[in-house]
Structure 1
């Protein structure tokens, strides 16, 4: 399926609860736009083309993703997720055989669950495969409605009856569509709901009405589903991603003496037997060799550090440090 699989990332919103003029999807997490993590995830599972739906301050989004190897489609008015996919359908010459639709504000999205979802879609060949989660407190998530065990609808929380609100299985807004079904039905969506928006979720009922199968892939890790709608969410997700990075480095043989006082970005490589002391910040694209001692209170950005180096209380910017170098405290080294 890989050569016929494309991804569409919904990234048009402003994110009013962020209280910012910056489009939500380009708010930085550990030094890079949150949507960059989503782009990396869909590429990792085999999407050979990635398109972003953009709207609010679209030129800024384009500029901040220069070099990301993605395409863009404009959604001038944000009239719902279904409308976003309609904008995509109008712009493209041919609908892909399979289209993965995800949100741009979910940087923790699980590549393992996406792969499982793709495998399920490939083997069962439904019209729609979607990702769901069982939550004890579903809140404002859309509910998955089933009859005899089979999905027959997704109901937005604001449109649910009191009985439907008791459902624990929720929609995570991650969909894999069979392309022909999407092409035939995306413009059949209507805005007959409280929000007067075009809901992508209504395609589930359209598929069921036509007797076409709809299947769900259940996510087990609730943290991977976290979307970002506020500065608090941004901080929560940043902390999770930072801990994942530190845990992986320590598993790979790097000593980090005070993880809670260390910042290491997502594009940093550190060889085993290197020691990182508190107050160290390593950001941008960096490579650090074996048997180094870094810190305390050292800042390194976009640099290459050789093997056996000692860097204490210094700043390294865009530099290349040779093996066995000793950088004195309070030094500034720039490339």
Structure 2
């Protein structure tokens, strides 16, 4: 792609995805917390396309909602093959003059550099009518073949229609293609369906161009996983595994320590700083940023959280969206934090829920403390001042403010503000009955003996 040549992206996503056995559109199934089509379009976005068209069929409404207007939706109904699918984008590309890159929504991991290589090949001196992305898998299975000599395509053939000699070719067709808009729809209009499936195949535009005496080219990716399609839950899990494997390796290369890498699961947007230590069985959901020098102990779950330098969390901690932990904060075992800022040096070491709260610097939250932030209709905020001490098994009933240096006695249920430096004790008066327990035990033992007799 040159600076003078605009680019359009066509993503084919009209398949029913029956093997997924799901009400969710196939290309919206997530990998690392992001829909597979989102991975693909993020890579395509690096090429700054002027237009993006997603060809949909089943589940069109789901796609429209997920894409949020970032692409034009074209509808293929009925589904008559890949060439027919691309034709449905013609209206959306009316008046467009430039290069067109044809991608597949269930092939999510095509790299931006691969896309650029396809476009660059389209602009080489021999000016190919089309550029096909090929790959050479260990097992060629049922893939269509690209018969080529020195990178120039002689013939494209579907597996069902190929001869034994053609099936011996190791270069397979990924389905991805780059074509000039001036050529694309004219070639598509000439595609027929005289084949084993009675469908209109996109690769036939290459055969038609070759028959016209034009050159078509193939470039071959060195990573077959890059063009692996996802058609079932098992293939989705395999794709997740491959993505996680690469992300773990990248995290360690960037300076993080993963004690047991195979047990750590990242999201597509997880950010880890240097000298971060991640112990086994940690799960990162979307929206987590971890600064340098953080320690995440085993069995933690993080989502939508920001951790500043020197933070320690876990084991068995849960950080939910809106959790913001400033420098040297400690969140211990079985502590849950949601939509809460914990300022520098604050601690919640055991068995605590902090929701919709602000915890002041150096404050200490005792074991079993909860912020009662929801009344069944609305959420309310709890504010805890600097250096405040909240005793164990306390309930802070929002909206409520605990002042700086204040102490809340263990077992208190606090529903009114506590002033700076104040002690608040909210307990029923203890009732003492000397000898009552001894008399109770004697009576019950006698009753039990009489029942046995």
Compute the TM-score of the two structures, normalised by the length of structure 2. Answer: 0.71
Quote the Cα distance in structure 2 between the aligned partners of 1:89 and 1:130. 20
SS of the equivalent of 2:205 reads helix
How far apart are 1:314 and its partner, in Å? 1.0
Task: Deviation per CA, 1:132-187: give whole Å up to 9, x if none.
Answer: 12345311110112468741321111111233222221111110001111132221
Pick aligned residue for 1:316 from 315, 319, 322 = 319
Pick aligned residue for 2:61 from 59, 62, 67 = 59
1:326 matches 2:330: yes
Q: Tell me what 2:73 maps to.
A: 72
Q: Tell me what 2:135 maps to.
A: 133
Quote the Cα distance in structure 1 between the aligned partners of 2:95 and 2:20. 36
Instruction: Point out where structure 1 has 5 or more consecutive residues left out of the alignment.
Output: none
Quote the Cα distance in structure 2 between the aligned partners of 1:76 and 1:96. 26
1:290 matches 2:292: yes
Residues 95 and 183 in structure 1, CA contact (< 8 A), matched pair in contact too:
no
How far apart are 1:110 and its partner, in Å? 2.7
How far apart are 1:259 and its partner, in Å? 0.9
Higher Rg: 2
CA pair 182-138 structure 1, distance change in 2 beyond 3 A: same
> For structure 1, which segment, 194-203 or 89-98, has the greater mean C-alpha deviation from structure 2 after superposition?
89-98
Quote the Cα distance in structure 1 between the aligned partners of 2:243 and 2:333. 30
Task: Deviation per CA, 1:236-257: give whole Å up to 9, x if none.
Answer: 1101101111111111111111
Q: Tell me what 2:179 maps to.
A: 177
CA pair 96-26 structure 1, distance change in 2 beyond 3 A: farther
Quote the Cα distance in structure 2 between the aligned partners of 1:184 and 1:19. 37
Quote the Cα distance in structure 2 between the aligned partners of 1:281 and 1:306. 18
Q: Tell me what 1:204 maps to.
A: 206
Task: Deviation per CA, 1:41-75: give whole Å up to 9, x if none.
Answer: 111234333221111111012222337x2222111
How far apart are 1:123 and its partner, in Å? 2.1
SS of the equivalent of 1:331 reads strand
SS of the equivalent of 1:228 reads coil
Quote the Cα distance in structure 1 between the aligned partners of 2:92 and 2:113. 31
- 1:1-335 map, 5 Å: 1=2, 4-66=6-68, 69-124=70-125, 125-146=127-148, 150-312=152-314, 313-318=316-321, 319-335=323-339
Task: Deviation per CA, 1:91-139: give whole Å up to 9, x if none.
Answer: 4322441100011111222333222222222223211011112345311
Residues 49 and 70 in structure 1, CA contact (< 8 A), matched pair in contact too:
yes
Quote the Cα distance in structure 2 between the aligned partners of 1:79 and 1:38. 24
SS of the equivalent of 1:248 reads helix
CA pair 265-147 structure 1, distance change in 2 beyond 3 A: closer
CA pair 91-46 structure 1, distance change in 2 beyond 3 A: closer
Quote the Cα distance in structure 2 between the aligned partners of 1:64 and 1:92. 21
Cα RMSD (Å)? 1.7
Quote the Cα distance in structure 2 between the aligned partners of 1:222 and 1:327. 43
> For structure 1, which segment, 129-138 or 33-42, has the greater mean C-alpha deviation from structure 2 after superposition?
129-138
Residues 301 and 316 in structure 1, CA contact (< 8 A), matched pair in contact too:
yes
Quote the Cα distance in structure 1 between the aligned partners of 2:136 and 2:336. 52
SS of the equivalent of 1:188 reads coil
Quote the Cα distance in structure 2 between the aligned partners of 1:282 and 1:135. 32
Residues 126 and 178 in structure 1, CA contact (< 8 A), matched pair in contact too:
no
How far apart are 1:84 and its partner, in Å? 0.8
Q: Tell me what 2:411 maps to.
A: none
Quote the Cα distance in structure 1 between the aligned partners of 2:6 and 2:159. 34
Quote the Cα distance in structure 1 between the aligned partners of 2:151 and 2:241. 37
Quote the Cα distance in structure 1 between the aligned partners of 2:96 and 2:187. 12
CA pair 137-329 structure 1, distance change in 2 beyond 3 A: closer
Residues 153 and 202 in structure 1, CA contact (< 8 A), matched pair in contact too:
no
CA pair 11-251 structure 1, distance change in 2 beyond 3 A: same
Compute the TM-score of the two structures, normalised by the length of structure 1. Answer: 0.95
Quote the Cα distance in structure 2 between the aligned partners of 1:191 and 1:286. 50
